[in-house]
Structure 1
């Protein structure tokens, strides 16, 4: 569902948002609704929610990543990350290993099937990213991305 699906276009224009229309949180939430709507329209055939491919992709880029570190970096609650990883295990996409020297740590790797899934589908998921900013000029999109990365503490990281 996009933000504009919530009301007819003429109704959207007629609604005064007052100061809340300047709220970063409010605008980010409406932006999230809009981007998720785009995601589902473009990628629903993959039966994944927004963010799920991201977890697989980041594991692909960081084989052996600690599950807790991944949850922290992606701002996913630890319990939710555990649930997602178990789901990926059942699908045969992710394998967990627990080192003998630290039984509290869980390392994540893609299985052969997981590697194949990421390799075969990364173009669709990563190509979709460009649709998120198609209403902006390239410089506007770069500036928005830069500001959001700064806001969430990713400035200066790959």
Structure 2
């Protein structure tokens, strides 16, 4: 017997049951779907969605402390350090240690990083538009508003 809680994959029936009512499960499934398009569009650069997001945020906030960006994006400090090392090694990010606080690091895009973000900005933003492809425009805006509220980003700049 199949119903709305059953999905057909590769000619096999997969019962999902009540897990389809789990916000965490649904968010993860939505994330996987959204990332598929990102990798189709920008995957050739061996770049992950979170890395481009960090480049984007640094570009909008040059000189911001690495820890501030990590906290805002909920990236663990150790992971953020590795991520910034990778972006720095690629030539996209510069790190500066301020004289007044030797424990912190301020980040900015290099000229190459600015050019990279500018070159792939439309592809990145188009990936976000493609995420909405199965939703009517009003539904997409409503979902975005709900997710902003749920994630604590309600009122955040667009």
TM-score by length of 1: 0.89
Give how far 1:37 is off: 1.7
Please state which structure has a larger fraction of its residues in helix: 1
What is the alpha-carbon distance in structure 1 between the residues aligned to residue 90 and residue 42 of structure 2? 18
Give how far 1:73 is off: 0.8
Q: Which residue is 1:3 aligned to?
A: none
Q: Which residue is 2:133 aligned to?
A: 134
- 1:80-111 CA deviation, whole Å, 9 max, x = no partner? 11001111111111111111111111100111
Give how far 1:16 is off: 3.1
- 1:11-41 CA deviation, whole Å, 9 max, x = no partner? 3xx4332221101011111111211222212
Q: Which residue is 1:78 aligned to?
A: 77
Q: Which residue is 1:34 aligned to?
A: 33
- 1:1-158 alignment to 2 at 5 Å? 7-8=9-10, 11=12, 14-158=13-157
Give how far 1:116 is off: 1.0
Q: Which residue is 2:4 aligned to?
A: none
SS in structure 2 at match of 1:146: helix
Count of aligned pairs between the two proteins: 150
TM-score by length of 2: 0.89
RMSD of the alignment, in Å?
Answer: 1.4
Unaligned runs of 5+ in 1: 1-5
Give how far 1:76 is off: 0.8
After TM superposition, which residue ranges in structure 1, 4 or more long, deviate above 6 angstroms?
A: none
Give how far 1:127 is off: 1.5
